Amino acid sequence: MGSTADAGAPDIEHAVVAARRAFDETDWSVNHGFRRRCLEQLHAALVKVADQLRATVTNEVGVGLRTTYGFHSDAPIALLPWFAELAETYAYDTRPPDRPWGQGVQRIVAREPVRCGGRDHPVELPALHHASERRPGSGGRQHRHPQASPQSPWYATLIAEVVVRETDLQPGVLNILPTSDNSLAERLSTDPRVDMVHFTGSTAVDRTIMRNAASHIGRVSLERGGRSANIILDDAPLTDLVPLAAGMVCINAGQGRVLPTRLLVPIDRWDEAVELATFAYQNIPVGDPRDPVAVQGPQVSAVQQHCVLDYIRRGRDDGATVLVGGNRPAGMSTGYFVEPTLFADVDPYSTIAQDEIFGPVLCLIPHRGDDDAIRIANCTPYGLAGSIWSADTTAR
């Protein structure tokens, strides 16, 4: 696709200095109307380049073009006007109700910005992560310097170009750093001038960032992996839900930490669930992500493709049954594709049920009622997301 900057330690220093200067020496943090105008300008500008943004995320990540009209690009952009309004209307100062023990004392709760924050953006959802972090950051007076993934820097740099060209956003409020050096996120966590670090990645790096931030009492927000459970209860309509729940895993070729990669179904409806999930996986359109028909594109890299195929091999070795897929798609000589793969006979404590595969691989697991489903859902070290499907809309 071209070449991009590769940020190093001097660039991190420059970004931190710029962010602190913008926050400490300008009126950005108190000029609510100006922040609102900047976000409205950004929204209008991103709408104008929406086609380019969609093409960019498709080309760099391999997501299906059809999904970019949703959460991969259009949906995050569509929320910008709401955050723009929030920048001016948010109740930064609120007065709690009077209490008998506090007669004559006026109490005010004041919400203040985190100030300077660093964000390491993962490869799988660059549009969603950049937009979701940037909107509240800018609306709520915080300054950010996101570190773009080396595998997907283009969406971030395109947004940076739009910000410079189309908005009045002040220098230093937003600093985007494409880099191949993963240690830069750790560097941000050791800098006392950086008030908060948000990191998405491995547990080992999470622990390092927490230790680093603790040295100067810095804030951290850590998003670990996901092995999310999708629980279908015995009163839910399987015919409607199983194909939908199964197919969701193949969005973005399974490269999403919140995707429901374990599907738990009632054991007394097991055969029906297997038939429905098998049919769904046999009919998921796989191909060139630029093709509007394709639902699943390739993995983001050869490394990720090999990793997913290795997990599939380990699943077979552990005794699980591949009902659909399990290989590279036949007839595709280019692209890092993996077939939509459906496993049955999966031990909930096996590797493929415990580890984050990050590919189009679904584990179909039976449960013997609500308590058993909860036990299986909670038997992994990950708890990022989860779903429960029921016909009872009053249940809590």
Q: Please tell me the distance from the alpha carbon of residue 272 to that of residue 346, in angstroms, as a whole number.
A: 17
Residues 173 and 26 sit within 8 Å (Cβ to Cβ): no
Q: Where are the beta strands (DSSP E) in the chain?
A: 93-94, 109-110, 116-120, 143-148, 177-178, 196-200, 219-223, 229-232, 262-266, 321-324, 341-344, 361-367, 386-389
Token pair listed for 296: 């699943």
What does the alpha-carbon distance between residue 205 and residue 224 come to, in Å, rounded to a whole number?
10
Q: pLDDT tens digits for 86-121? A: 999 999 899 988 777 767 788 899 988 787 888 776
Predicted pLDDT at 272: 96
Mean pLDDT of all residues in the chain? 87
State how far the Cα of 155 lies from the Cα of 352, in Å rounded to an integer: 32
131 vs 144, which has greater pLDDT?
Answer: 144
pTM confidence score: 0.84
Q: What is the mean pLDDT of residues 248-254?
A: 91
Q: Is the dihedral of CA 149, 150, 153, 157 positive or negative?
A: positive
Name the pLDDT band for 395 (thresholds 50, 70, 90). low
Lowest mean pLDDT among 35-44, 239-248, 318-327: 239-248
Per DSSP, 375 falls in state: H
pLDDT tens, position by position, 362-392: 999 999 999 999 999 999 887 788 899 999 8
3-state secondary structure at position 221: strand
How far apart, in whole angstroms, are the C-alpha atoms of residue 213 and residue 207?
10
The closest of 46, 68, 42, 43 to 55, measured between CA atoms, is 68
How many whole angstroms separate alpha carbon 58 and alpha carbon 158? 14
Report the SS3 class of residue 98: coil
- Calpha distance 17→19 (Å, rounded): 6
**What is the side-by-side strand order in the sheet with 262-266?**
321-324, 341-344, 361-367, 262-266, 229-232, 386-389
Of residues 147 and 136, the one with the higher pLDDT is 147
Q: Quick check: 5 and 181 in contact, CB under 8 A?
A: no
Residue 163 pLDDT: 94
Quote the CATH superfamily of domain 9-223: Aldehyde Dehydrogenase; Chain A, domain 1 (3.40.605.10)
Please report the pLDDT score of residue 249 as a whole number: 92
Superfamily of the domain at 229-389: Aldehyde Dehydrogenase; Chain A, domain 2 (3.40.309.10)
Q: Find the mean pLDDT for residues 230-247.
A: 93
Residue 183 has pLDDT above 70, yes or no: yes
Distance separating alpha carbons of residues 355 and 104, to the nearest angstrom: 57
Instruction: Give residue limits of the domains in the chain.
Output: 9-223, 229-389
- Whether 221 shows a pLDDT value over 90: the answer reads no
| Contacts for 266 with CB less than 8 Å, ≥ 6 apart | 232, 233, 234, 273, 366, 367, 369
**Could you tell me the strand order of the sheet in which 219-223 lies?**
177-178, 143-148, 116-120, 196-200, 219-223
Mean pLDDT of 203-227: 85
pLDDT at 132 over 50: no
CA 5 to chain centre: 24
More confident position, 215 or 319: 319
Is 52's pLDDT higher than 90? yes
Residue 10, exposed/middle/buried by CB under 10 A (0-12, 13-18, 19+)? exposed
Closest by Cα among 289, 302, 342, 290 to 320: 342
State the pLDDT confidence band at 283, using cuts at 50, 70 and 90. Answer: very high
d(CA 164, CA 233): 50
How far is it, in rounded angstroms, from Cα 275 to Cα 120?
41
Strands 341-344 and 361-367: parallel
